[in-house]
Amino acid sequence: MKYSCLNPIAPVGLNIFTDKYQKTDNVDEADIILVRSASMHDMQFSDNLKAIARAGAGVNNIPVDICAEKGIVVFNTPGANANGVKELVIAGLLLASRDIIGGVNWVQTIKDQPGVAKLVEKGKSKFAGKEIQGKKLGVIGLGAIGVLVANAAVHLGMTVYGYDPFISVERAWSLSRHVIPVNSRDEIYRECDYITLHAPLIDNGDPSSSTKGMINKEAFDKMKDGVIILNFARDLLVNDDDMAEALKSGKVARYVTDFPNDKTANMEGVIAIPHLGASTEESEDNCAMMAVKQLREYIEKGNIINSVNYPNCDAGECAALGRITILHRNIPKMLTQFTGVFSALNVNIANLVNKSKGDYAYTVIDVDSTINGDVISKLNSIEGVIKVRVVK
Ligand SMILES: NC(=O)c1ccc[n+]([C@@H]2O[C@H](COP(=O)([O-])OP(=O)(O)OC[C@H]3O[C@@H](n4cnc5c(N)ncnc54)[C@H](O)[C@@H]3O)[C@@H](O)[C@H]2O)c1
Ligand SMILES: O=C(O)[C@H](O)COP(=O)(O)O
């Protein structure tokens, strides 16, 4: 198995690959790709590419649907960098509330003058700010990061509102009971002094699930004057032109973004951080280790953990003589056709697991004999089959 890394991936993760895996710089010969934020939208994928692992959360840099069509399973590492982001969001809350950056920069301008200590005491009032305790924070998106941010803000004495129409049971269980759940973003806009975004970028043209540009003029009009917006999710969640107007008018007092672009990097009132949310030793290690473990599980056993385009599937270890995996469309009569292939060849099926997710499905079949080319070509010829792979 050959793997390519499109971004540097922490060695502690890559070391989990055994000597059966070789690193290659030629992405066209890779069976596996590991990536962080490098854009893969203009890439051509070779037929031998089996899986892509995003060592991180957001997969908007990967053409997930095209990969599904080509039988390439895309994984991410949910939660592996969440603490790193949470800590930076807390820093963002403080940087937006107290003019720490202005003050620190000012000290640099006076550092060579005599009597710095006296100058500091004389000039510090220009950089006074507000405390976050007692203020209202709205968290949009209560996933791995949103829940940690909400709970931490409760501990810091903030009143926290949370909004997530698709919150998972697992996340709901871990949310502090002090977080006030709301059913619409409007409630957050109306109530909150700080609003922090932790929803994924979804740009599918469907207004019920799309998040692109959700923080726009219409939203600003509903917010309190002097609101502070924190964006550690993706720049395109915010309409930058509307943000420029909101900053100019004072509707938004500060915009903290981890995703500066040509527009926001030049806006007054913006605190621009160079996408450092997950750039900690711990997050990089966690993401790399999780990504490689998931890849090995898929390559060596056919099990899918944390895929964003195919269903998760745990068929355990293969105790039979052979295991074959089939990525296919989620349409009727597929299983009948698969089992028909084996029964026609008088091969006994020892175990079968079938899972589906949206338009796609995945079947793992363990058989009591070794798998030959005939089986593979018969399965491949079934309409709706995307990729067949012999795992054992
Ligand atoms: N700054 C960074 O370095 C950094 C690091 C990790 C993740 N991120 C970004 O943050 C996002 C969230 O990361 P995560 O690990 O918490 O992901 P996650 O999948 O655990 O959580 C995302 C949450 O958003 C919710 N959601 C989806 N659509 C929504 C909507 N319209 N309104 C409100 N909530 C909605 C989901 O239900 C889910 O609970 C990622 O998609 C990524 O874009 C940034
Ligand atoms: O979605 C993510 O996980 C973050 O944006 C982190 O991206 P990075 O791995 O490029 O730091």
> Could you report the per-residue pLDDT of 358-367, keeping only the tens digit for each?
999 999 999 9
pLDDT of 311 reads: 98
CATH number of the structural domain spanning residue 392: 3.30.70.260
pLDDT of 373 reads: 85
How confident is the model over 136-157, as pLDDT tens digits? Answer: 999 999 999 999 999 999 999 9
Q: Is the pLDDT of residue 35 over 90?
A: yes
The answer to whether residues 141 and 242 belong to one domain is yes
pTM over 0.90: yes
| Rounded average pLDDT over 67-80 | 98
pLDDT of 233 reads: 98
Element (H, E) at 323: strand 322-329
The answer to whether residues 131 and 262 belong to one domain is yes
Q: How many CB atoms lie within 10 A of CB 116?
A: 12
CA 236 / ligand 1 centre spacing (Å) = 13
Ligand 2 binding residues, C-beta < 6 A: 36-37, 56-58, 81, 275, 277-279
The answer to whether residues 214 and 334 belong to one domain is no
pLDDT band at 37 (very low <50, low <70, confident <90, very high): very high
SS3 385: strand
User: How far, in whole angstroms, is CA 256 from its chain's centroid?
Assistant: 19
- Return left, alpha or beta for 174; rule: phi > 0 is left, psi -120 to 50 is alpha, else beta: alpha
CATH number of the structural domain spanning residue 189: 3.40.50.720
CA 288 / ligand 2 centre spacing (Å) = 12
CA distance 50 to 30: 9
The answer to whether residues 343 and 287 belong to one domain is no
CA 366 / ligand 1 centre spacing (Å) = 36
Of 222, 243, 272, the position where a domain reaches its end is 272
The answer to whether residues 242 and 332 belong to one domain is no
pLDDT of 215 reads: 98
SS3 151: helix
Asked if ipTM goes beyond 0.90, one says yes
The answer to whether residues 54 and 201 belong to one domain is no
Q: How many CB atoms lie within 10 A of CB 335?
A: 15
The answer to whether residues 233 and 87 belong to one domain is yes
CA distance 287 to 308: 15
| Rounded average pLDDT over 38-65 | 98
> Bridge-partner residues for 252, per DSSP?
227
The answer to whether residues 94 and 73 belong to one domain is no
Closest CA to 372 of 341, 340, 351, 350: 341
Per the structure, the count of domains in the chain is: 3
pLDDT of 370 reads: 87
The answer to whether residues 87 and 232 belong to one domain is yes
Structural domain of 330: 311-392
The answer to whether residues 359 and 243 belong to one domain is no
Q: Is the Cβ–Cβ distance between 153 and 211 less than 8 Å? A: no
The answer to whether residues 245 and 291 belong to one domain is no
Token look-up 């899986």 returns: 51
The answer to whether residues 94 and 76 belong to one domain is no
User: How far, in whole angstroms, is CA 298 from its chain's centroid?
Assistant: 20
